[in-house]
Copies of this chain bind each other. A is one copy, B any other.
Amino acid sequence: MDIKGFQFSAVEAAIKKPGRKDLALIFSEVPAHACALFTTNAVKAAPVLLSMDRIKSGTAQVLVVNSGNANACTGEQGMVAARETSCLVAEGLGVSDDAVQISSTGVIGVQMPMDRIRAAIPAAINGLSSGTLDDIAQAIMTTDTFPKMETRCGQAEGVSYRVAGIAKGAGMIMPNMATMLSFIITDAAVEPDFLQQSFSRAVNRSFNAITVDGDTSTNDTCLIMANGMAGNPVINTESSEAVTVFEQLLSEVLLSLARQIVKDGEGATKFVEIRITGASSDADAKRAAMAVANSSLVKTAFFGQDANWGRIFAAVGYSGAEVDQSRLSLYFDTVCMAQNGIFAGNDAEARGTEVLKQKEFTVSVDLGIGNGTSTVYTSDLTHEYVSINADYRS
């Protein structure tokens, strides 16, 4: 699918082990409206600090992103490296420094190999005519086992436009503001304020509703660029149908990417949707859902295909949400495991165990005290997760 006015390039800069592309560019032929959400971690990587400052302008034209090194906990030298990288890209493309967004992922605390990055940038710029978005999705992978991409087509007053996104995930996934890395591009013409609002809402329903291991990274970034090259009448809050369609498509792209991240969670063998209903508020529902989704005991039970529903009630109980234990009920898919706080019986146990043998299932908890709801997505906790993270740097 051709997203008008965007060009892509990915090259080997030898930041990672040889044989893997690890430096990539997304270039819009014209300045794009842009907004981004960044990690809430107080320890922020150098490229995050630089990009946060630049995005205030509301526009961007280039993204330069590398994997293999997070450029986090690298102090002033890291900031110099991020500035120089973006400067070289800006010069090569004839755009202003401020139009360059920069993003990094990989190991923390190691200085960037600037000699190799300097050497690779010209090739990255030259490659823009021939690259694809899929190349970028590949280049930003770290422990991911598959590239994550999603696209949608829409129409605004008869003019077609496209929305496409890529993401990387795997570990250190429990975003508060954004996921590890996700970049969304669209050739739709979108009014900047509406772009910001619809993007924030879509992120909250997608990337902010997933967790793999409860760790929030130093580099989380979710960026959207809308360059308007589709030529549609500007989508804004007055053009109601086009607005609805655009936000719907954007949400679909983000939710698809978020689900792909969970499915590819480090070592994951299960994809689990956690639905909380009947909470005293949506915020309480989210607290309960995240406690279940992050519990090591719940996640190992999923891995073991063990219908140990008591651990789920225990997690709801310590979540901080308002809970009356005599009103709790729990379902694995459509199988009622417990009602009014107590076990539904041995028949439920057998049927619940069958549900947990699937690769994907839903865990629903009704708190039974209000109308608050929340849905989050999580994976299981496996031997493979331990292996990956015990040996990540070796």
Name A residues whose Cβ lies closer than 8 Å to a Cβ of B. Answer: 40-44, 70, 72-75, 77-78, 107-111, 171-172, 176, 213-218, 294-297, 300-301, 303-304, 306, 308-311, 313-318, 321-323, 325-326, 328, 338, 340-343, 381-383, 385-387, 389-394
Contacts and interface: CB of A to CB of B under 8 A. Distances in A.
Contact of A172 (B70, B297, B328, B340): B297
B218 A314 contact: yes
A392 B301 contact: yes
A118 to B, nearest CB: 21
Contact of A109 (B74, B343, B394): B343
A43 B343 contact: no
Contacts of A77: 342
Contacts of A40: 318
B393 A342 contact: no
Ranked nearest first, the 5 interchain pairs of A and B with the lowest CB-CB distance are A108-B310, A304-B390, A43-B317, A300-B389, A109-B310
B341 A73 contact: yes
A177 to B, nearest CB: 11
Contacts of A176: 318
A172 B317 CA distance: 13
A41 B218 CA distance: 31
A16 B202 CA distance: 49
Given A306-B391, A310-B107, A317 B215 contact: no
Copies in the complex: 2
A259 to B, nearest CB: 21
A386 to B, nearest CB: 5
A296 B213 contact: yes
A302 B274 CA distance: 30
A390 B109 CA distance: 34
Nearest to A296: B213
A300 B143 CA distance: 15
A325 to B, nearest CB: 5
B108 A392 contact: no
A223 to B, nearest CB: 20
Contacts of A314: 41, 43, 72, 108, 172, 215-218
B73 A297 contact: no
Nearest to A390: B304
B301 A342 contact: no
A297 B109 contact: no
Contact of A317 (B42, B300, B316, B385): B42
A387 B383 contact: yes
A341 B214 CA distance: 23
A215 B296 contact: yes
Contacts of A109: 309-310, 313, 338, 342-343
27 contacts: A42-B318, A42-B321, A43-B313, A43-B328, A72-B310, A73-B310, A73-B342, A74-B343, A75-B326, A75-B340, A75-B342, A108-B313, A109-B338, A172-B314, A213-B296, A213-B297, A215-B296, A215-B315, A216-B314, A216-B318, A218-B317, A296-B385, A301-B390, A304-B389, A306-B390, A308-B392, A382-B386
Contacts of A42: 316-318, 321-323, 325
B172 A306 contact: no
Given A108-B311, A318-B40, A386 B386 contact: yes
